[in-house]
Amino acid sequence: MKKIFSTLFFLGGMLNLSAQDTPTADAVIDKYLAAIGGKEAIAKIEDLTIGTAAETQRGTMESEIKVKKPNKFSSVMYMMGNEVMRSTSDGSKVETVSGFGGNTNNRVAEGKDAIAQILQNVPFPELLYAEYGIIKTVAGKEAVNGKDAWKVDFEIPEGRKWSEFFDVESGLKVKRMANMEGMRGGGQRPQGQPGGPGAGQGQAPGGQDGQRPGGGQRGMGGGMMNVTFSNYKEIKDGNGVKIPYTREQGNGQFSSKAEVQSVKVNKGIKESNFVIK
């Protein structure tokens, strides 16, 4: 009997130790923000313009996103030099205008769908989680590119869900994973981002996500969209803040590798860039 109690006590102690070793979601996010420069330095960035280029199965894709804190953005995607998608957020709504083969589609997202796109396009969506009541939970530890990473599950209340992975050692965000089933152009798509929010985030390497820049997943099918982030570098005039300069994404039907080409910080982007007509 003593041996049984002793064994149970030992197992209970191991389970308790394991629970103590697992950080909270807030702790994981705080470590990430510290790893990319710290909240104080990030707070000094009032606006940001990021240009990227990627080679895809459809040809060369270029994009530019302009972001103004806390939650306004304007993104444009070009395919082979032609504008094919534009998305604009005034901080409340998100309008997406896409045109392929001469056809134009206009869609406006509101509520939780707008929140999803905002989180995906702003480069530092973590700073908005409290405002939007984002639910976050550490789901455990998994290997990403051969290194341990904390998997954190996120959820917009009554909205989209997604997961992000943070390197245990460095704290950097290395991967995002989201289910694209049921996604439509102009709805939620993960710097960034961001698919769920949080790089992507359209063009913004730090934001949110695994989606096509500017809005939606039209023509890309369903299934899981995986996005990996790497090559973190300090941005010029960014007070030491880093963003991933390389992001690779794919869902089995579509894949691309985007590289940051230019970054501009605090250039006084005009409010007219974020007007929804």
What is the 3-state secondary structure of 186-230? CCCCCCCCCCCCCCECCCCCCCECCCCCCCCCCCCCCCEEEEEEE
Please enumerate in sequence order all residues whose Cβ is within 8 A of that of 61, keeping only pairs 6 or more positions apart, or say none. 53, 54, 55, 77, 78, 79, 213, 256, 258
The pTM score is: 0.81
pLDDT computed for residue 47 by the predictor:
97
Give the domain ranges of the chain.
Answer: 27-274
Please enumerate in sequence order all residues whose Cβ is within 8 A of that of 127, keeping only pairs 6 or more positions apart, or say none. 39, 42, 43, 70
Q: Is the pLDDT of residue 136 over 70?
A: yes
Query: Residue 227's beta-bridge partner residues?
Result: 176, 249
The radius of gyration of the chain from alpha carbons, rounded to an integer in Å, stands at: 19
Per cent of the chain over pLDDT 90 is 63
27-274 fold: outer membrane lipoprotein receptor (LolB), chain A (2.50.20)
Please enumerate in sequence order all residues whose Cβ is within 8 A of that of 24, keeping only pairs 6 or more positions apart, or say none. 138
**What separation in angstroms does the CA of 172 have from each of 41, 70, 159?**
16, 22, 26
pLDDT tens track for 160-178 = 999 999 999 999 999 999 8
Least confident of 55-59, 234-238, 255-259: 55-59
pLDDT computed for residue 252 by the predictor:
67
pLDDT tens track for 23-43 = 999 999 999 999 999 999 999
Phi, psi (rounded to 5 degrees) for 261:
-105, -30
pLDDT computed for residue 224 by the predictor:
79
Q: Is the pLDDT of residue 134 over 80?
A: yes
Average pLDDT over residues 97-125: 88
pLDDT tens track for 163-218 = 999 999 999 999 999 876 544 433 333 333 333 333 443 433 334 343 333 333 33
Question: In this structure, how many other beta carbons lie within 10 angstroms of the beta carbon of residue 49?
Answer: 18
